[in-house]
Amino acid sequence: MEEGFDVAIRLTELSDSSLIGRKLAPFRQICVGAPELIAIHGKPEEPADLTDMPFIVETNYRFRSNLTFSHPNGERRSVAVKSRVEVNSAEAARQAALCGLGFARSPLFMVRNDIVAGRLERVLEDYESENTAIWVVYPHRKHLSGKVRAFVDFLVTWFEEEQLRSAF
């Protein structure tokens, strides 16, 4: 906000802040790897397998190279990965994964088409990554302009309708 932006969209859980945050939609994160990478290093079967495999770390996540997974039986597992590549955007992580530079954790909506096309493969399918959300953040409500309020309301409505469309 110090840089003059009225709103920001964040793809992570919010830490304490003087900003107001409104959750727009949840999203799933999954682990993926290029077929060529899997041919060389094998397909990880458990989260611990990632400790000895090349991994692409997105530095915007709070815990960076410490990944937490939930097994369908309710068990939670954490694993520290060694970064082969560090990037500061989900798109850069996706591109690095497509190049076979390592396994990556990515929002499902960003890699869905790559999986369908066979450019990336999902790994650790029995384990769910910690889910997060898309947030819109803005300054305290008493300073909220009409145009910002209208934009935030539009985003909330659009994401609600998008979730309904993708449910079918």
Give the pLDDT confidence of 14-73 residue by residue, as tens digits: 665 677 888 888 878 899 999 999 999 999 999 999 999 999 998 876 666 788 888 878
In tens, the pLDDT along 87-134 reads 998 899 999 999 999 999 988 888 999 999 999 999 999 887 766 788
How many residues does this entry show for the chain? 168
Predicted local distance difference test score (pLDDT) of residue 120: 98
Query: What would the two tokens of residue 26 be?
Result: 């949840």
Q: What pLDDT, on a 0 to 100 scale, did the predictor assign at position 13? A: 64
Domains (range + CATH), the chain: 8-24+136-166 (no CATH), 29-130 (3.40.190.290)
CA distances for 132 relative to 6, 12, 62, 114, 129, angstroms: 23, 6, 12, 21, 9
**Residue 159: is its pLDDT beyond 70?**
yes
Mean pLDDT of all residues in the chain? 85
**Residue 168 pLDDT grade (very low, low, confident, very high; cuts 50, 70, 90):** very low
Q: pTM score, two decimals?
A: 0.77
Please report which confidence band the pLDDT of residue 167 belongs to, taking 50, 70 and 90 as the band edges. very low
The pLDDT assigned to 51 comes to: 92
pLDDT of residue 35: 98
For residue 106, CA distances in Å to 11, 38, 59, 69, 129 come to 11, 17, 12, 13, 10
